[in-house]
Structure 1
């Protein structure tokens, strides 16, 4: 059958018409999509793309902020920032690169002449020094980034450059921040110090994270000084502030092609500490005077020839505010001026840079071998632990308030033929004593027999071993755990009773622990522990900052007391240890007008080839309404009642004078001042 030509032509026309319509439809759809996309680009994405385009054609130079200040509780500036004028140089954009470099070298010679004639001789710079700062090889900066040539310009240098600015093209003078510390060196290890950002950005995790910051106002500058320890580090983000920005339009060759726009930097916030300047300074002075006294004393009970360091913390009982924290000897933190320290200064002060109230610090010794013959700042609490030991014994039912123990001066434990003696200091015999009497007389046999040994003999309770039960109490009272202060690199102390239980026996671990010999703790931990004894079981977070204010003086944040944990112990048991603590003999408190509770400690510590005796002391006052708790440690200081107690007395006196142990300061009258209405006489 043959095809009909006419019919085939009709079919072909239909197919052609369909294809033509399909082509027009697809073309229409494509144009519609294109038009919609153009509309989106114009009206929706336009502003964003425009901003990106502007960003690609501009470069921002960060202006460093002025760091916030650190004040004591009275508003006295401990660490403060002052402004200085720095000279910056920008490579000229209109010149070819080689011409720009030659121009920069000529400028360096001119700058050197001005620096020599009008500058501070101590900050003299050679032409090579200036060229090095210009970074003409672009090792540290892009071509459009201004280079800092010199900081701390004198007023004569500034005046000369301002008068002759047309002769110094590319030169700009900018205000920058310089950190200053009070000349009295107030709580320097707590406050901390600064280092250059470029020196710590790869070694300190906190600053490693800052390198990923995208907000230009929060990006760190290479030459910026940043907190490296203490509160300077802990409150780095608060103190720093925000960068200002100088924004320049640039071409594809990164050359500046127009006027700049300036966004001023935002000053960092100020922090107001709980530290009282006068209490702090008197604490520091008391430690240094006591070290001098006991190292040369002719009194055999007081003499401590190896004592080189001392540490003290004073903490308010109701608030947890630390009013004094001294790690002595200390140093002048202004040696860190400029964010670096000289090799000579580091050699002289490396042993006192750390805060010995929260970390391990040693005195200054010529060799490590000599240093290892002496204890660090983290020592056993010794007999200062006995109030807690009695509390544990009572609370665990190991003895009662009416239990009487006959102290014959020694307690023996261990297998027959291998018995070990636990003796009182100087082999004293105290006869019949109860828990309070054991604290008063500091009876080692009582603690060993009635607490350590009985806890061991009772064995496991509720699935916990005797050593684990002891450990629970220690940690509830803040011993062997962080205090919650938040201070960087704080030590938890050193727990030794677990290793002694494995190496020796659980019996020996608990017996020695019962009178303070199976753990080593920091001064801050002992202060927190003393505060718990004073407030009957509330472990308060140590507070160092009262409030934070912005540069305008507006309150940003205030701090309230924070209870970390509480210990529920019957009031009668607290009264028992308070009675004992009220009768402890301690030197230096003669004439003290308040009742106070205290415990001395002479902790023994084996170091190298000898046994060191550390002076330890805790106290709180007034006894009936405690306001302040104090802990003092003097490594190698001998008897706590002689080596550490007198320091605590002076801290209480300083606090009473400045703040008041009854809530009102007892400021002494100014010497030589005439009372109102008094008759003046002739001074001969």
Structure 2
């Protein structure tokens, strides 16, 4: 029995020893494997993991540039940058996004519109980019979040500069506005230069000069802890601020044009004929661009979009209207330049004109006619029959060729985004668009600026300045120069011009003399605005909103207000040394002489420093 017990003890001892040896071997093998792995990680993969470690510790952050400012001709600030705070969420750092937003809403008000904007912007950004959930935080809201920030990893308050427009509605259509970058814009821009930037120019000058105003993005290397909090800045490349832009626009004149239009819908464009500088560019009604910078509510936007007065519509550069009788000086000049007529050749106006072999009567605005008229008298009294006859003799091909030289039917090239080209009809246009042939009667309608002929107030102002220059057509510009912040010198924008040749320089004098008599002659359609201090050359116009039948007579009093004729007027002054050219459009205004011309006179008075009052209002027939 004792041997058995001894054998059992020895057997157990051997078993324990064997197990210990196996366990020891396993441990040794494990340690060897661990050493091999550590050797591999620390030696072979040292560089790889060093980079990963650095990426976890050091982050590269974009530093957006400060957007350039915009000033008027006298240094008045038109577009500024205002500091504000936004509450932003970095998606990849938040475990439960919905719960985080709900918790945030308990300390900072977050509306349904804020959530909707967040969802929209979230789809446009990478997960590592921050997305704003609330904009324009008050100082109290910033302090309230700071106290609770430990509860919200991945949520930060970010200070940024927001665009503001001190003159709001007075400059909305000229400047446009900046807004959040959308998906379409993101696909078109250099995303590396817009890293950290949430805003981009949406219209007007802001969009046209985006490359100058935006600047160049900078970067900084920052050290962060495990929670992503910034500990210190290791290295930085400062951004390059956008350039400031100085305009030719004069806010004193801009406001004068706004006041002259009053409550009426319309547009006023004033240009310096000497260099193409835009002095004033007004479209009424307007809107407040500040509401669009951080995102306007759907309700507000729909109210503007569907308003009967169309406040979002830029009538100066995008409004396309039949120019009416304002084109008569250009067509008269075309008749002289092409040799179709002379200044002294006469036409008898009986009150209507018919093409040979046709019964259709193209009526003159004066029912009884103007009698015998030459070029000067036809412009002074705005005789339609004279220009029916002249257009018929020139034909649509020569009309189109000559008028296109003045910019009709094409964009002026002004540095404002969204300009439209108008429409100068031709045989080719009608065949291409309407699949129809051109009829002689349509040529007559073009001869008085009606029918398919469309022009913008800006085009009319540029064409008027070209007559004032005796054929020197200058591309209009709002931006006069640019300058980097702190720089001593400005960089002027170039002046682009070309010369229109009409053959005999005397033709310019003859047309200008007739336009001067439009204002100075007792028979002139704009005689009311004659100034005792300077001489004005001008031309009135009336643009039809709808076409009258052969037996219909236009009666403004019985016509709904929005179906009444548009009133137009073009002018430049002083006649001998032009310094300002003006085009005025009053939607559904009535007559150019009584409704549009006084507006132009008030604008010219302010610019030329005249104090003479306008004569009392008086009835004006014709256009």
User: With structure 2 as the length reference, what TM-score do the two structures score?
Assistant: 0.76
Q: Secondary structure at 1:380's aligned position in 2?
A: coil
Q: Deviations over 1:383-403 (max 9, x none)?
A: 111111111111111222332
Contact 1:381 1:601 in 2 (8 A): yes
The alpha-carbon distance between structure 1 residues 642 and 165, as it changes in their structure 2 partners (threshold 3 A), is same
- 1:479 aligned residue: 408
Q: Give the Cα–Cα distance (whole angstroms) in 2 for the partners of residues 483 and 622 of structure 1.
A: 24
Contact 2:168 2:289 in 1 (8 A): no
Contact 1:409 1:424 in 2 (8 A): yes
Asked if 1:413 is matched to 2:355, the reply is yes
Q: Give the Cα–Cα distance (whole angstroms) in 2 for the partners of residues 442 and 166 of structure 1.
A: 77
The alpha-carbon distance between structure 1 residues 581 and 53, as it changes in their structure 2 partners (threshold 3 A), is farther
Q: Secondary structure at 1:644's aligned position in 2?
A: helix
2:166 to 165, 177, 182: 182
Asked if 1:400 is matched to 2:312, the reply is no
- 1:312 aligned residue: 268
Contact 2:464 2:582 in 1 (8 A): yes
The alpha-carbon distance between structure 1 residues 160 and 429, as it changes in their structure 2 partners (threshold 3 A), is closer
Give the deviation of 1:129 after TM superposition.
7.9
Question: What is the total number of aligned residue pairs between the two structures?
Answer: 537
The alpha-carbon distance between structure 1 residues 169 and 605, as it changes in their structure 2 partners (threshold 3 A), is closer
Q: Give the Cα–Cα distance (whole angstroms) in 2 for the partners of residues 224 and 397 of structure 1.
A: 59
Q: Secondary structure at 2:361's aligned position in 1?
A: strand
Q: Deviations over 1:434-489 (max 9, x none)?
A: 2111111211121222x222224xxxxxxxxxx22221111101111111214323
- 1:492 aligned residue: 421
2:447 to 500, 514, 534: 514
2:204 to 212, 220, 230: 230
Give the deviation of 1:569 after TM superposition.
3.7
The alpha-carbon distance between structure 1 residues 608 and 233, as it changes in their structure 2 partners (threshold 3 A), is farther
Give the deviation of 1:141 after TM superposition.
4.4
Asked if 1:242 is matched to 2:216, the reply is yes
Q: Give the Cα–Cα distance (whole angstroms) in 1 for the partners of residues 66 and 455 of structure 2.
A: 38
The alpha-carbon distance between structure 1 residues 334 and 133, as it changes in their structure 2 partners (threshold 3 A), is closer
Give the deviation of 1:521 after TM superposition.
0.6
Asked if 1:385 is matched to 2:327, the reply is yes
Q: Secondary structure at 1:275's aligned position in 2?
A: coil
Structure 2, unmatched stretches of 5+, are: 1-46, 519-523, 550-558, 614-623
- 2:62 aligned residue: 62
The alpha-carbon distance between structure 1 residues 273 and 599, as it changes in their structure 2 partners (threshold 3 A), is same
Contact 2:179 2:202 in 1 (8 A): yes
Give the deviation of 1:553 after TM superposition.
4.4
- 1:10 aligned residue: none
Contact 2:135 2:294 in 1 (8 A): no
Q: Give the Cα–Cα distance (whole angstroms) in 2 for the partners of residues 380 and 412 of structure 1.
A: 22
Q: Give the Cα–Cα distance (whole angstroms) in 1 for the partners of residues 570 and 92 of structure 2.
A: 67
Give the deviation of 1:242 after TM superposition.
3.0
The alpha-carbon distance between structure 1 residues 667 and 154, as it changes in their structure 2 partners (threshold 3 A), is farther
- 2:582 aligned residue: 630
Q: Give the Cα–Cα distance (whole angstroms) in 1 for the partners of residues 536 and 117 of structure 2.
A: 64
Asked if 1:578 is matched to 2:518, the reply is no
The CA RMSD over aligned residues, in Å, is 4.0
Q: Give the Cα–Cα distance (whole angstroms) in 2 for the partners of residues 128 and 355 of structure 1.
A: 28
Q: Deviations over 1:323-371 (max 9, x none)?
A: 1111111111122131444323432355221311121xxxxxxxxxxxx
Q: Give the Cα–Cα distance (whole angstroms) in 2 for the partners of residues 557 and 273 of structure 1.
A: 12
Asked if 1:352 is matched to 2:281, the reply is no
Structure 1, unmatched stretches of 5+, are: 1-46, 94-99, 116-123, 292-308, 360-376, 457-466, 661-665, 669-684
- 2:183 aligned residue: 201
Q: Give the Cα–Cα distance (whole angstroms) in 1 for the partners of residues 353 and 607 of structure 2.
A: 42
- 1:5 aligned residue: none
Give the deviation of 1:257 after TM superposition.
10
Give the deviation of 1:404 after TM superposition.
3.0
Deviates more, 1:554-563 or 1:609-618: 609-618
- 2:242 aligned residue: 268
Give the deviation of 1:311 after TM superposition.
1.2
Give the alignment of 1:283-322 within 5 angstroms: 283-289=257-263, 291=264, 309-322=265-278
Contact 1:319 1:560 in 2 (8 A): no
User: With structure 1 as the length reference, what TM-score do the two structures score?
Assistant: 0.69
- 1:82 aligned residue: 82
Q: Give the Cα–Cα distance (whole angstroms) in 2 for the partners of residues 267 and 554 of structure 1.
A: 15
Give the alignment of 1:116-127 within 5 angstroms: 124-125=109-110
Give the deviation of 1:180 after TM superposition.
1.0
Asked if 1:598 is matched to 2:528, the reply is no
The alpha-carbon distance between structure 1 residues 258 and 539, as it changes in their structure 2 partners (threshold 3 A), is same
Asked if 1:649 is matched to 2:601, the reply is yes
Q: Give the Cα–Cα distance (whole angstroms) in 2 for the partners of residues 358 and 575 of structure 1.
A: 29
Contact 2:415 2:479 in 1 (8 A): no
Q: Deviations over 1:590-648 (max 9, x none)?
A: 54521110111112343699975221110010011111110111232222112211111
Give the deviation of 1:128 after TM superposition.
13
Contact 1:500 1:506 in 2 (8 A): no
Q: Deviations over 1:275-296 (max 9, x none)?
A: 111111111121124x3xxxxx
Give the deviation of 1:509 after TM superposition.
3.0
